[in-house]
């Protein structure tokens, strides 16, 4: 049966190899089941409900990839996309998480439609390679900055409003009955724990240990217990931890003005920026990931095409719709699938095993509350390091490419907005090319995006 479904002999693999590869992929990307609830719960979403959505979204997407596309690629809520959902859409643009989930659902439907008609790759090709790499690097820098803030390693000075190093000197002072002092000491200890976690993750990744990030999260969590960063007295094992919050959408509110002024035009441009950013990030990320993984697995044909590419893209699109229905940000294909491919995974059987493990992971739901933000923050920093490596692919000797790319990268963390970075990069790319007399080098779709983003900045203040 497995041979008939997954064509194991055709791809020169066997059941044992595929199962081991599936376990390896899961262990490598399992950190998302802790990190995603930590990030999205900042919006007010219930952490246990997000955990359920994370596991189900990852499981469904990965199982579709396994059975429909027969590829060893695993899916889960994307890093960067969850940060955009939380820190830009909800905290900065003031959308409620229910409205943001509605936007993710709409973007998922858009994915399905443009994938079905074959437009998804065409749209991706309209954006210059330098900006694609800059988006990845900028999101990496943004995620790392969030990690530093969440850990307490970096804090915002209340006077100057500028970032500075957190307090490490209070970490091991004896606790007193003064709640303010207790809070300061615990915050300081949390920063120390985050540093330890980051060091552990860094060493394990450098030694190419499988599951380095999840190991670091677990160790940092355990260390936090005796330091009283987590209040163990409040923990109790309860079936109430298995929370499901499906169809948690607010479509009506999504189209409201949110007090930004400017009438329906401002509303539509704001909504355009939100949905387009979800769409662009996932499209670039998924297609780039597909090509990289397929190349690593030796699956690219003589034309450089991926087998079942249309089915892989559709699996990715449907996973986003399913994930939003259960209450999580955009689900996308994970580059960590490369770990399973390195172990010999070549078919959907690898993904099938990974998907089943995401379902089994639901049993640890009651323990999610025991993982503090200081334990997950090092994972954000580590992922940021991996993502910012894309900056190497940008030619900074060509200033026409360098300036828009640079603005894309730095504006994301400086304005605490992924959408602002993407908007600025596309606008300046078009302006620089036009002023250099190279209008023909600009794709028509890029012109349209630049005009819409300019209108967005003119009408909406962020």
- Write the pLDDT tens digit of every residue in 109-159: 998 998 898 787 677 677 888 888 898 888 889 889 999 998 989 988 888
The torsion angles phi and psi of 71, rounded to 5 degrees, stand at: -125, 150
Cβ-Cβ contacts under 8 Å for 389 (sequence gap 6 or more) = 137, 140
Q: Shortest CA distance to 88 belongs to which of 410, 330, 417?
A: 417
Q: For residue 118, what are the CA distances in angstroms to 122, 123, 278, 446?
A: 8, 10, 19, 18
For 229-273, how does the pLDDT look when each residue is reduced to its tens digit (9 = 90+)?
Answer: 887 776 677 667 788 889 999 988 887 755 455 566 666 777 777
pLDDT at 456 over 90: no
Q: Are 197 and 215 in contact (CB under 8 A)?
A: no
Q: Quick check: is 436 in a domain?
A: no
Q: Quick check: is 258 in a domain?
A: no
Q: Are 240 and 438 in contact (CB under 8 A)?
A: no
pLDDT at 450 over 80: yes
| Angle, alpha carbons 34-246-91 (nearest 5°) | 60
Q: Quick check: is 414 in a domain?
A: no
Q: Quick check: is 444 in a domain?
A: no
Of 42-51, 278-287, 301-310, the poorest mean pLDDT is in 301-310
Q: Quick check: is 454 in a domain?
A: no
Q: Are 54 and 293 in contact (CB under 8 A)?
A: no
Q: Quick check: is 391 in a domain?
A: yes
Q: Shortest CA distance to 337 belongs to which of 36, 2, 76, 11?
A: 76
**Range(s) of the domain holding residue 327:** 1-253+282-398
19 - beta bridge partners?
none
Sign of the CA dihedral running 259, 261, 265, 266: negative
Q: Quick check: is 349 in a domain?
A: yes
Residue 80: the pLDDT is 85
- The pTM score is 0.81
Average pLDDT in the 174-184 region? 58
Q: Are 224 and 407 in contact (CB under 8 A)?
A: no
Cβ-Cβ contacts under 8 Å for 204 (sequence gap 6 or more) = 212, 215, 216
The percent of residues in the chain predicted with pLDDT above 70, rounded, is: 90
Q: Shortest CA distance to 324 belongs to which of 282, 363, 264, 289?
A: 282
The torsion angles phi and psi of 156, rounded to 5 degrees, stand at: -95, 120
Q: Are 314 and 116 in contact (CB under 8 A)?
A: yes
Give the total number of structural domains in the chain.
Answer: 1
**What is the C-alpha to C-alpha distance for residues 243 and 358, in angstroms, rounded to an integer?**
16
**What is the C-alpha to C-alpha distance for residues 139 and 329, in angstroms, rounded to an integer?**
15
């Amino acid at each position: 049966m497995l041979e008939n479904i997954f064509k194991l002999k055709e791809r020169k693999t066997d059941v044992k190899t595929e199962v081991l590869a599936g376990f390896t992929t899961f262990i490598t990307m399992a950190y998302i089941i802790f990190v995603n609830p930590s990030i999205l719960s900042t919006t007010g979403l219930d952490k246990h409900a997000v955990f359920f959505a994370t596991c189900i979204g990852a499981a469904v997407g990965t199982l579709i990839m396994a059975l429909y596309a027969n590829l060893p690629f695993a899916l889960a809520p994307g890093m960067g996309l969850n940060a955009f959902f939380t820190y830009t859409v909800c905290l900065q643009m003031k959308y409620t998480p229910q409205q943001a989930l509605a936007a993710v659902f709409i973007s998922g439907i858009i994915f399905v439609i443009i994938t079905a008609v074959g437009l998804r790759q065409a749209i991706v090709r309209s954006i210059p390679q330098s900006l694609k790499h800059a988006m990845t690097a900028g999101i990496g820098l943004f995620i790392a900055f969030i990690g530093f803030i969440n850990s307490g390693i970096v804090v915002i000075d209340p006077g100057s409003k500028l970032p500075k190093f957190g307090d490490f000197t209070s970490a091991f002072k004896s606790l007193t009955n003064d709640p303010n002092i207790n809070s300061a000491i615990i915050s300081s200890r949390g920063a120390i724990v985050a540093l330890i976690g980051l060091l552990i993750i860094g060493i394990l990744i450098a030694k190419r240990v499988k599951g380095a990030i999840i190991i670091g999260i677990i160790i940092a969590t355990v260390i936090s217990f005796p330091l009283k960063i987590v209040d163990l007295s409040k923990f109790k094992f309860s079936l109430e931890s298995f929370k499901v919050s499906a169809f948690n959408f607010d479509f009506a509110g999504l189209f409201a003005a949110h007090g930004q002024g400017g009438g329906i035009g401002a509303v539509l441009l704001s909504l355009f920026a939100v949905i387009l950013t979800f769409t662009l990030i996932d499209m670039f990320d998924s297609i780039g990931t597909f090509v990289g993984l397929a190349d690593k697995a030796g699956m690219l044909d003589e034309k450089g095409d991926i087998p079942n590419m249309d089915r892989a893209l559709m699996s990715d699109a449907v996973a986003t719709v399913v994930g939003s229905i259960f209450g999580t940000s955009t689900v996308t294909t994970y580059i960590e699938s490369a770990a399973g491919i390195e172990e010999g995974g070549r078919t959907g059987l690898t993904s099938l095993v990974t998907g089943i493990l995401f379902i089994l992971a639901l049993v640890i739901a009651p323990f999610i509350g025991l993982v503090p933000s200081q334990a997950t923050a090092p994972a954000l920093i580590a992922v940021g390091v991996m993502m910012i490596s894309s900056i190497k692919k940008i030619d900074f000797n060509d200033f026409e490419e360098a300036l828009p790319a640079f603005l894309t990268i730095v504006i994301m963390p400086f304005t605490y907005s992924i959408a602002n970075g993407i908007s600025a990069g596309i606008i300046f790319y078009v302006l620089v090319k036009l002023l250099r007399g190279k209008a023909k080098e600009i794709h028509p779709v890029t012109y349209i995006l630049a005009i819409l983003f300019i209108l967005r900045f003119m009408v909406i203040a962020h």
